[in-house]
Amino acid sequence: MLHTGFPRVTAVRNVRFDTGAGELLARDVLVDEDGVITSVDAAVSVAPGAGELDGRGLLALPGLVNTHAHVDKSWIGHPWQSYGGEGGTDGRIRHERARRDELGIPGLDITRRVLAEFVRFGTTAVRTHVDVDLGLGLRGIEIVREAVAEYDGALTAEIVAFPQDGVLRRPGVVDLLRAAAETGVEHVGGLDPASIDRDPVGQLDALFAIAADTGAGIDIHLHDPAELGAFQLDLILDRTASLGLTGKVNIAHGFAIAQVDPVRRRDLLQRMAGLGVTMTTVAPLRLPQLPLHEMDAAGVRFGFGTDGIRDLWSPYGTGDLLGIAWQYARSSSIVRDEDLRRVVELATTAGASFAGIRRHALQPGDRADLVLLDAENAMDALVRTPPREVTVGGGRILYQR
């Protein structure tokens, strides 16, 4: 079914724009029938008309972009699920496989609830990993596509076919990933080629062959630390260069970048920037964060993601992407205005390309994706993470508090 409760807007009146120059400007955002911004003008003192939204002087930010999610496997809506099973990546995989069927994972209602939470917290675009394995086949992808389609284009989403149980250690998974790419998923995923498959060359060769043959991007979970992770980054960069896949590869997590010595990190970042290899982070606690200034200086783009939301891996997670940005900033000891503002930019405008959006800055020609909140400016929005008052996606009201 399509959601019918998402009214179109022709204008969002009287919102405040943080220009970054120490001033906040009251603006009216006009929107055409295709959900595209046609103009951003000084606010006029008129009552909102039919189809117009009263912004009430709230701060307007571009819609939040969740660059790393797993919308197919939450237990939101079920009774509380106690943490069980063993720790570590392989232990969590086994526990999830043992219990997912009884919880109906993946399921359409679960995915709907996760997407609704994202929207409630101001997210208008998402890149989501969706499990592909021998037990599920491509069913999870079909479910996620159906849930996203119910937004009728008001929510932007890209899918990564994700081999959570490994690529090579389960014969047949490579064929499933290729089939997913051939049916149009935007990316194929990988998982710790060394520690999960214990064959980094074999896993990466298989994934890059699929990408080269189908045009799909690659989005690899890489948890392996320090030099083991850096070694796999070298292999990824080698293949990106040799197969001409510049701008098509993302590294999720990538803890190794923050753990190797500064010279090694500099060399990796410079090479990544030259090949357009991006990164996504969920700002994990108890681990060093991706270094903001070094990433920006090298020109390596990165975005924030929520990872799993109350799933069989962890009971934590709310779906609040701005909360992840807060966690990153706080853990990185970021305090200066320009850096706080940059973190907000990473959560909004700069993250848009991870979901296939070319422009995302609340300017004429951009999709009308915006979130309204009661905050003094962008920095205040980040450090307080106030409730989202309104979420507009593609010119439609997706949520009002």
Concatenated DSSP letters of 29-82: EEE-TTSBEEEEEE--S----TTEEE-TT-EEEEPEEEEEE-TT---TTSSP--
Q: What pairs with residue 370 in β-bridges? A: 62, 392
Look-up of token digits 């964060």: 289
Both tokens of residue 270?
Answer: 């410079």
pTM: 0.96
Find out whether 60 and 29 touch, Cβ atoms under 8 Å: yes
Report which DSSP code applies to 313.
T
pLDDT for the residue numbered 4 = 53
Secondary structure (H, E, C), 105-161: CCCHHHHHHHHHHHHHCCEEEEEEEEECECCCECHHHHHHHHHHHCCCCCCEEEEEE
Strands 64-69 and 123-131: parallel
Which residues, 6+ apart, have CB-to-CB distance to 250 below 8 Å? 187, 217, 218, 219, 220, 277, 278, 279, 280, 354
C-alpha distances (whole Å) from 307 to each of 1, 203, 253, 274 are: 27, 23, 10, 27
Bridge-based pairing of strands 396-400 and 388-393 is: antiparallel
Tokens matching residue 3: 């959601």
Give, as one character, the DSSP assignment of residue 307: B
Identify the CA nearest to 300 among candidates 263, 249, 241.
Answer: 249
Rounded Cα gap, residues 110 and 104, in angstroms:
8
Residues of the chain with pLDDT under 50: 1-2
φ, ψ of residue 156 in degrees (nearest 5): -90, 135
Tokens of 82: 């106690």
Q: Give the pLDDT confidence of 16-71 residue by residue, as tens digits.
A: 999 887 778 899 999 999 999 999 999 988 888 889 999 999 999 999 999 999 99
Q: Residue 325 — left, alpha, or beta (φ > 0 → left; ψ -120 to 50 → alpha)?
A: alpha
Alpha-carbon distance 132 to 11, whole Å?
41
Q: Is the peptide bond before 171 cis (omega within 30 degrees of 0)?
A: no
State whether residue 57 is helix, strand or coil.
coil
CA torsion 265→267→270→271, rounded to 10°? -110
As a whole number of angstroms, the distance between CA 304 and CA 321 comes to 7
CB atoms within 10 A of CB 44: 9
Supply the pLDDT for residue 186. 98
Element (H, E) at 296: helix 292-298
Q: Please, how many CA atoms are within 13 Å of residue 89, restricted to the half-sphere of its CB?
A: 16
Whether residue 165 contacts residue 97, with contact meaning beta carbons closer than 8 Å, is answered with yes
Q: Are 233 and 200 in contact (CB under 8 A)?
A: no
